[in-house]
Chain A
Amino acid sequence: MLSYEFTEEQDMFRQNLREYLQKKVAPHLPKMEEKQEVQPEIIKAMADFELFGPCVTEEYGGPGMDMVMAGIIGEELGRNDPTASTAVFYLVDASWSHVFCRYGKEEAKKEILPDVCKGKKYCGIATTESDVGSDLANMKMTIKKEADHYIVNGDKNYISGLREAKQMGGGHVTLARQDLAAGARGMTLFFLPIKDNPGVTITTDRELGREGMSTGGFNCNKVKVPLKYLIGEENKGFYIVHEGYELARGIIACVCVGAAMKSLENGMAYIKQRKAFGSPIGKYEAIQFQLAEDYTKLCMVRDWAYKALHYYTKEAREGAKIRMQVSKYIAMAKLYAPLWAFDAINHSMQWQGAFGYTWECPDVKAFRAIRSFTLAEGSTEIMHLIIARELLGKEFIAYK
């Protein structure tokens, strides 16, 4: 497949979603930025349009969308909200509710997922620790099985959505070490409720951007977790967690493209009318060359992202044996989407002169937000390693 072609259903969905977001979400964005919190009106509007838990099956209250649709939602949210706060709120929820739906226990799925899909509970991810990012196998948080529950001890940091989970209810899909001697083979994935959970203490960080969405850390001090919240099998969590990362990475690539394309549109509107030396600055080649290159790159990475999500859907739903294709294309899209989006937004700001350096310029918000995506859900450095691994073979992995 050279290029991914959207279906009629997907095109129609996108058109309706774009209009809906402009009508129902965009008017509340100024208040979100002022309060630095995704507003209840926004959450309700997104829930009413079935945007939460997009890949959760109908059995658990979800719309049962495929991953391409999940990417479309990400792209349109990236366009609609330059701070990317709503996009982050969405993509974390989308990716980890998907994993929960695939591997969670029946009782827990029925308890948690319908409310996630209605926007009444949050579903986040917690793997990062202050000393552990890319090398997950070295994390310190532990989970220990007792008679009829687990006991969790440790800290997580740089986690999105803790305030949201605390306010709304829900929690975070969390990875911790169970078999301490087994490294990556001894890690367990589980759902950790955040709200009203004794022993869970939350802190917040102040990030450069994405100001509507909280980021922070939490400490677990002998926190009890019911057995029903196990996701997958004990000590097999390391292998499942990558499914959530891959969906998140594909969606992030789409978010970056949406934000950057919107930024280029803003820039184009400006350069068509702004005159210098007697001509609109859009006539000058220095600007045209940047525009042409940025647009071309964004189209390429957009194609990779949707192709990757299409392959991922085939693998997840049809059992297609295309692991290498999924892994490679998602890593390719996640590697370059944030970098090329950042360049495009930066150029758009440059074209707009001094205004492009003010807080009023929407592209400045996108600039601060997109910068996070070279790190979130897998750094650009790790994406390089994944692509090289798929090309050279696992025996060439440098860090084991």
Chain B
Amino acid sequence: MRIAVCVKQVPDTTEVKVDPKTGTLIREGVPSIINPFDQYAVEEAVRLRDAAGGGEIVAISMGPPQARTVLIHSLALGADRGILLCDRGFAGADTWATALSLSMAIKKLGEFDMVLCGMQAIDGDTAQVGPEMAQLLGIPQITYVDKVEIDGKKVVARKTVDEGYEMLEARMPVLLTFMTPSDFVPTNPPFSKISKAQKKPLETWGVKEVDGDPEKLGLKGSFTTVTKVYSPMKREKAVMLEGGTDELAKKLADILAKEGFF
């Protein structure tokens, strides 16, 4: 069983404050953590590898040099090898360029039975990288998974949807994005596991190592840019409309017209 897990270092958004003047996030001094959904993906990878009787888990992260701590954390949780994609050529990447970089690294690492990701990063919240990677790798994907088991050469996954759950099957290789179950308590590895993690292989790769085209990676390879991040304006009041469907629709349309939306 060979599993690739993508992990990201993110600011601990429970401690992030918003600048009252600009409305943007104040990241300075905020501690960095492993993206919580990615931690669940790592722990699931360990469980699935062990249930399969062994194998290899490669944790991959794209980020600045300090992002190696989330790889060490992943190794302490049970991953076997870590790859840090760290290069100026990767910087400024949007979700597509990020997905491309990670996919190229995975292709370079060889065949995998599964690629696991958290459903989204808690700083960006786009939930795009996992599905984009599946497309680039040409493998099926199941998103918003909270439970998965292996059945021979396929996986059986429980996907969360608005109405409840769907049970889906897919042949491996497959990409899964995980959301955390409500009863998930992240594991904190003790000293012995952190110490052993320091001795596991952890390499830093650049654009060259993934055989990347610099024009298609990083800022140059990004189709989108983030121009501003801000909190929604706090509304002082809310207007509650009452009535039947037709009546509500007319009232809402009148308000929108009055506000200049059309």
Contact = CB atoms under 8 A, between A and B. Distances in A.
A334 B185 CA distance: 37
Given A9-B198, A12-B72, A12-B73, A50 B188 contact: no
Nearest to A73: B191
Interface residues of B, number: 17
B127 interface: no
Interface in A62-120: 63, 65, 69
Interface in A140-174: none
A357 interface: no
A12 B69 contact: yes
Contacts, number: 40
Contacts of A17: 188
A11 B68 CA distance: 13
Nearest to A48: B190
Interface of A: 8-9, 11-13, 15-17, 19-20, 23, 48-50, 54, 63, 65, 69
| Residue from A16, A49, A63 with most neighbouring chain B CB atoms (10 Å) | A16
Contacts of B198: 9
B189 interface: yes
Nearest to B195: A9
B185 A13 contact: no
A16 B194 contact: yes
Contacts of B191: 13, 49-50, 54, 63, 65, 69
Given A9-B198, A23-B185, A50 B73 contact: no
A8 B197 CA distance: 12
A9 B194 contact: yes
9 contacts: A12-B73, A16-B189, A16-B190, A19-B186, A49-B188, A49-B190, A50-B190, A54-B191, A63-B192
Interface in B169-198: 185-186, 188-192, 194-195, 198
A15 B39 CA distance: 15
B246 to A, nearest CB: 49
A65 B193 CA distance: 12
A63 B72 CA distance: 18
A9 B68 CA distance: 11
A19 B72 CA distance: 17
